[in-house]
Amino acid sequence: MGGLTMFSLDRWQEIFSTLRAHKLRTALTSLSVAWGIFMLVLLLGAGRGLSNGVQDDFKDDAVNSLWIFGGRSSVAFKGLAPGRETRMRNADYERLRTNQAGVEHITSRFRVGDPMVSFRDKTSAFDIRATHPDHVYLEMTQMLDGRFINQRDLDEKRKVTAIGVGVRDFLFGETNPLGEYIAIGGMNYRIVGVFSDEGGEGEEQKLYIPITTAQATHGASDRAHRIMFTVDEATTVEESEAIEEEVRQAFAARHEFDPTDRQALRIRNNVEAFSRIQQVFSVLEIFVWFISAGTIIAGIVGVSNIMLISVKERTKEIGVRKALGATPGSIVAMVVQEAVFITAIAGYLGLVAGVLALEGVASAMPDNQWLANPSVDFRVAINATVLLIVCGALAGFFPARRAARVSPIVALRDE
């Protein structure tokens, strides 16, 4: 027996015979290992899916941006009654563009609505946004053909438009639309560009026109529904909050509302929001790893206990083997090989089951906003499986070594 190696057919036959003789024990050991890897893959995949979902939500907007929305005052101020609307104007945009420190790219936006858009026999309602050239930096717009709105378009109040790929596909199919005229709310606009947007299909169903054109054709003179600007990417949360407060104070002075009234002017600070989300997911990642580590440890403990019982039950068998000339090394190798075999097969099955479960979730919810592409880093999963196999080997090694050192006479006497 001392000449047996890990590739010996006789040894494998002995291992399979032992596993068949103790089916329940083998099943419980395998289940503890497989469950540990399965839960690890599932938890890590779900955590990544949640993170992807939230990050996708920010893909559409620059994370280093602040968005300003008009509101209504909720408290009286200098004799003025509450409930007054804060209406943003072109002058607010100009003052921010020229006077506000920290502003990198800035745009205001006027929402036209969802008028009918048509080209020949194709007609549908699309969202029309009137804006400035810098809007491409706020919405992460990527031009595929032609150009976006430029300053000359605004200065001359041109009837031009940049359309999303979704609009292009609906109206023109495979035809290049640049230079073509489409009717927007009954007025003809020339297409100067086609864009895509990381925000997905919803953003690509929109059209952009010069804000001055929209204000002139819709009798809004100088009205803006929101103003957005980016700050330097190195700007800290504290610095962005200071800029936010400066903006609020400036608007409060111009529009006469209490600077502490958050209902009069709403500001969405994406720098702060993205930082907060990152902190949440850092904590979530630690929590997932903590739970995953618990499942791995549970698997290791399960293997250790089962192997301890297995060696204890086979004490007499070990005594017989030693009496027949088996070396302590061959006995230890046999038990370790059995432990490694069980943990390797069970770990692989748990890994496959976890990946299949994630694939099933991804297929069942392909467009889910909060769980996007749940997946797991295979290196992490495989490393965890290898760790379990090593621990399984150690779980078999120590009790087997202790049993192998026992005298054959003592082992044969031990029931």
Segment-wise mean pLDDT, segments of 10 residues, the chain, 415 residues: 54 74 78 83 81 68 91 91 93 94 93 89 93 91 94 96 95 93 95 84 87 89 92 93 95 94 94 88 82 77 76 73 74 78 85 85 68 72 78 78 70 57
3-state secondary structure of 127: strand
Task: Please check whether residues 98 and 116 belong to one and the same domain.
Answer: no
Task: Please check whether residues 309 and 401 belong to one and the same domain.
Answer: yes
Task: Please check whether residues 257 and 324 belong to one and the same domain.
Answer: no
Task: Please check whether residues 287 and 401 belong to one and the same domain.
Answer: yes
What's the confidence (pLDDT) of residue 70? 92
- What is the distance between the alpha carbons of residues 170 and 139, in angstroms, rounded to a whole number? 22
Task: Please check whether residues 236 and 383 belong to one and the same domain.
Answer: no
Task: Please check whether residues 235 and 323 belong to one and the same domain.
Answer: no
Q: Which positions ≥6 away from 334 have C-beta within 8 Å? A: 4, 11, 14, 15, 400
**8 Å CB contact between 164 and 117:** no
Domains of the chain: total = 3
Task: Please check whether residues 154 and 210 belong to one and the same domain.
Answer: yes
Task: Please check whether residues 284 and 402 belong to one and the same domain.
Answer: yes
**8 Å CB contact between 105 and 138:** yes
What's the confidence (pLDDT) of residue 282? 84
What's the confidence (pLDDT) of residue 231? 94
What's the confidence (pLDDT) of residue 237? 94
Give the pLDDT confidence of 41-88 residue by residue, as tens digits.
888 888 777 777 766 666 667 889 999 999 999 999 988 899 999 999
Residue 179 has which token pair?
């230079």
Q: Report the residue count for the chain.
A: 415
3-state secondary structure of 129: strand
Give the pLDDT confidence of 53-66 residue by residue, as tens digits.
766 666 667 889 99
What's the confidence (pLDDT) of residue 59? 64
Task: Please check whether residues 237 and 205 belong to one and the same domain.
Answer: no
Residue ranges making up the domain that contains 93:
72-103+231-263
Q: Is residue 351 included in any domain, yes or no?
A: yes
- What is the distance between the alpha carbons of residues 118 and 186, in angstroms, rounded to a whole number? 9
Beta bridge partners of 217: none
Q: Is residue 140 included in any domain, yes or no?
A: yes
What's the confidence (pLDDT) of residue 97? 94
In the DSSP assignment, the letter for residue 72 is B
What's the confidence (pLDDT) of residue 413? 62
**8 Å CB contact between 388 and 296:** yes
What's the confidence (pLDDT) of residue 32? 79
The model carries a pTM of 0.71
Q: Is residue 270 included in any domain, yes or no?
A: no
